[in-house]
Amino acid sequence: MAVADVEPLLKRLTGDEKHAPSAFSTLDVIWVLYDRVLRVDPARPDDPDRDRFLLSKGHGPAAYYAVLAAKGFVPHEWLDDLAGPDSPLGHHPDRLRVPGVEISSGSLGHGLGLGVGTALGLRAQGRLDPRVYVLLGDAELDEGSNHEAIAYAGATGLDAVTAVVVDNDSASLGWPGGIASRFQVHGWSAVTVDGRDHDAIHAGLRAARPRRPHAVVARVEPKGS
Amino acid sequence: MRQAFTDTMTDLLNEDPRTALVLADISAAAFEPMRRAHPDRVLNVGIREQLMIGIAGGLALTGLRPVAHSYATFVVDRAYEQIKLDLGHQGVGAVLVSVGASYDGAEMGYTHMSPMDVSLIDTLPGWTVRVPGHPGEVGPLLRAAAATDDPVYLRLSTQVNDIAYAEAELLRPVRRGGGPLVVAVGPMLAPVLAATAGLDVTVAYTHTVRPFDTNGLRALAATGEVVLVEPYLAGTSAHVVSAALADRPHRLLSLGVGRRDLHAYGSPADHARWHGLDPAALRAAVAAWA
């Protein structure tokens, strides 16, 4: 299966027009993560040694749901009822309703703190293999809570954490100096890649180094273009 | 109470590898020996309360039992949305332990006061709220909280009663009379006992307001007349008492901290007087109501 095969699944999700650009902006990044990087198994979604993927930017989760369906975490039929009264799939994901979803998100600026805590919890239990990937949006970085997490993870060299920032130029005031520098100044390694180029995304994710958290800024077309 | 917390928390960290402590600079010095002993489970994130709760949520998601600690105004008021979403909405719990109850930090001004913390927690489902009235109650309550995965708020104060009642999860009568039931929560017991000396009332004590002992309330409030004295916002538990007595005629007087920013410093005793929570004012309020 390739990402092209996910798109029909994505189109089964209706009623998410508001967040559609947001959903499509993340599709390639989420696909590369689930197809090439994450050590996760739909048969064992609670495996304590699994990698964690946290969709901090809970907006527009259609791409997330479609990839989860493509990878066997949720039935394809669920995609036909987005945010209905009996649907487990809403416009922001709920970890208690959807297998494979690590955090309930929607309000921006929560995933990175939860991801840092998850990495710390795994480390405290001697689980050093799992990595924690947190997907954020460039506008989401407006929330100051992210910068609490960026500063702490950088200062403590929390190298199990990778932040992936999908950058579609939607932050109202922009990020002068670039998003990567916001992480680098706190000791993270950071790379900027073409968010539609699967090999580039994969290479960016593999560029993590010991003793530093890692950030991948995935540039995509500007929102609304 | 703060020392009792430090002592018991230290023991828990040494005894139970599931226990973790997350700090935001407050009390960091007191726990520095523990941070050195257990660097992966004693985490000081600096002055970052949103992150403190986010990290607690993440720790809980991996199966640890996090305790997060700071002044009430920082751990509850400032981080309210993190408590709502990073703990509650994720389906995980933590133990939040606060100091600086209501006006304990009066000399530092309103920025360091939180009489609204229990009301804020009360808006969220599933929380157990402990309001000890004596340092001797803190250790058992913290141990009980650490043994579960539930969300628990443990509110410490510098205001203390003369006697510890570790077994006061349910309403515990400490003085029997024939008139109204006076419920004293946490450190309000001492001023309530002084205020009601010689009055024909039943005084019952509890250090646990969520869940509230509604069965005990119904049994003790035979006259249907209840005075509720809480050391935080007046009326915080009024809705629980009213609902518990909805099927019978009753009268309720709710006393506690007023909904006012006094823009005043002074001592906790000054603020107790200004909010009508000193024994003389309490006695006058009960007499006028009765």
Instruction: Place B238 in a pLDDT band, splitting at 50, 70 and 90.
Output: very high
Instruction: Place A12 in a pLDDT band, splitting at 50, 70 and 90.
Output: confident
Quote the tokens at residue B109: 């001004």
Name the residue facing A148 among B51, B56, B58 (closest C-beta).
B51
Instruction: Using a CB–CB cutoff of 8 Å, tell me whether A123 touches chain B.
Output: yes
Mean pLDDT of A74-96: 95
Going by C-alpha positions, the residue among B61, B23, B29 that lies closest to residue B41 is: B23
From CA A53, how far away is CA A86, in angstroms rounded? 25
Strand-strand pairing, B42-44 and B19-23: parallel
CA B28, B31, B33, B35 dihedral sign is negative
Give me the helix-helix angle, A198-205 and A20-32, nearest 10°: 60
If phi over 0 gives left and psi between -120 and 50 gives alpha, with beta otherwise, what is residue B126? Answer: left
Each residue of B147-169: b (16+ CB within 10 Å) or e? eeeebbbbbbbebbbeebbeebb
* Interval B123-176: pLDDT, tens: 999 999 999 999 999 999 999 999 999 999 999 999 999 999 989 999 999 999
Name the residue facing B61 among A118, A123, A145 (closest C-beta).
A118
B48 within 8 A of B137, measured Cβ to Cβ: no
Apex A198 CA angle, A192 and A204, nearest 5 = 35
| Amino acid at the residue A185 | V
Q: Which residues lie across from B130 on neighbouring strands? A: B154, B208
Is ipTM beyond 0.85?
yes
A158 to chain B: closest CA residue: B40
Strand-strand pairing, B172-175 and B202-206: antiparallel
DSSP B197: T
Going by C-alpha positions, the residue among A6, A19, A137 that lies closest to residue A79 is: A6
pLDDT of residue A3: 87
For chain A, give the mean pLDDT.
Answer: 94
Half-sphere exposure in the Cβ direction for B91 (13 Å, CA): 11
Helix (H) or strand (E) holding B108: none
Residue A8: phi and psi, rounded to 5, are -60, -35
CA distances from B123 to A41, B75, B112 (A): 37, 16, 21
Is A114 within 8 Å of B20 when comparing Cβ atoms? no
State yes or no: pLDDT of A17 exceeds 60. no
| Amino acid at the residue A94 | D
Cis peptide before B135 (omega within 30 of 0): no
Mean pLDDT of B173-183: 96
SS3 A154: helix
pLDDT of residue A22: 60
From CA B118, how far away is CA B93, in angstroms rounded? 17
pLDDT of residue B12: 98
Instruction: Using a CB–CB cutoff of 8 Å, tell me whether A122 touches chain B.
Output: yes
Name the residue facing B62 among A103, A113, A121 (closest C-beta).
A121
B44 to chain A: closest CA residue: A152
| Residue B56 distance to chain A (closest CA, Å) | 6
Which of A7-21, A56-70, B39-53, B248-262 has the lowest average pLDDT?
A: A7-21
From CA B138, how far away is CA B1, in angstroms rounded? 6
Contacts of A148 in chain B (CB under 8 A): 45, 48, 50-51, 54
Instruction: Place A96 in a pLDDT band, splitting at 50, 70 and 90.
Output: very high
A136 within 8 A of A146, measured Cβ to Cβ: yes
pLDDT of residue A20: 62
pLDDT of residue A2: 87
B153 within 8 A of B76, measured Cβ to Cβ: yes
Is B46 within 8 Å of A151 when comparing Cβ atoms? yes
State yes or no: pLDDT of A16 exceeds 60. no
| Residue A53 distance to chain B (closest CA, Å) | 13
| Amino acid at the residue B286 | V
State yes or no: pLDDT of A19 exceeds 60. no
Name the residue facing B51 among A96, A113, A123 (closest C-beta).
A113
State yes or no: pLDDT of A21 exceeds 80. no
Residue B126: phi and psi, rounded to 5, are 90, 0
State yes or no: pLDDT of A14 exceeds 70. no
Is B62 within 8 Å of A103 when comparing Cβ atoms? no
Is A124 within 8 Å of B59 when comparing Cβ atoms? yes
B50 to chain A: closest CA residue: A145
* Interval A174-214: pLDDT, tens: 999 999 999 999 999 999 999 999 999 999 999 999 999 99
Strands (E), A30-72: 52-55
Is B54 within 8 Å of A118 when comparing Cβ atoms? no
From CA A21, how far away is CA A28, in angstroms rounded? 13
Instruction: Using a CB–CB cutoff of 8 Å, tell me whether A115 touches chain B.
Output: yes
